[in-house]
Amino acid sequence: MNLEHLTERLHRIRDTNDWKQFHSPKNLAMAASVEMAELVEIFQWLSEDQSRQLPADKLAHAGQEVGDIVLYLLLLCSELGLDMDQVVRAKLADSERRFANE
């Protein structure tokens, strides 16, 4: 996955629709949170086993919500001047240091 290319595509959509005015870090974080809530709603009231065996339509819906979340986070990183690949790798390395050697 080429994050730079995906971000460029997102910027084209944003610019074509004149949405940059709405893409403040605050708004993008809130939008990602709303999409996360939509993902959580798919799993609401399911048992642990049911959550691991979603029917095809719910699995597709979950994938759409995950996509929405990732795209908003890419836009957020762009607005904040963060490199998504770098911050994810740094966080993973930190988690490995903290938890992988226990």
pLDDT for res 101: 74
User: With 90 as the cut, is the pLDDT of residue 1 above it?
Assistant: no
Q: What's the CATH number where 10 sits?
A: 1.10.287.1080
What distance in Å separates the CA atoms of residue 10 and residue 88, rounded to the nearest whole number? 19
R_g over Cα of the chain? 16
Report the chain's mean pLDDT, rounded to a whole number: 97
Q: What is the DSSP string of the chain?
A: --HHHHHHHHHHHHHHTT-GGG--HHHHHHHHHHHHHHHHHHHTT--HHHHHS--HHHHHHHHHHHHHHHHHHHHHHHHHT--HHHHHHHHHHHHIIIIIT-
pLDDT for res 102: 61
pLDDT for res 79: 98
Q: Where in the sequence is the domain holding 43, given as residue range(s)?
A: 3-100
Q: How many domains does the chain have?
A: 1
> Average pLDDT of 65-86?
98
Provide the percentage of residues in the chain whose pLDDT is more than 90: 96
By C-alpha distance, which of 64, 70, 74 is closest to 41? 64
Contact 80, 25 (CB under 8 A): yes
Per residue in 11-60, pLDDT tens? 999 999 999 999 999 999 999 999 999 999 999 999 999 999 999 999 99
pLDDT for res 64: 98
pLDDT for res 11: 98
pLDDT for res 74: 98
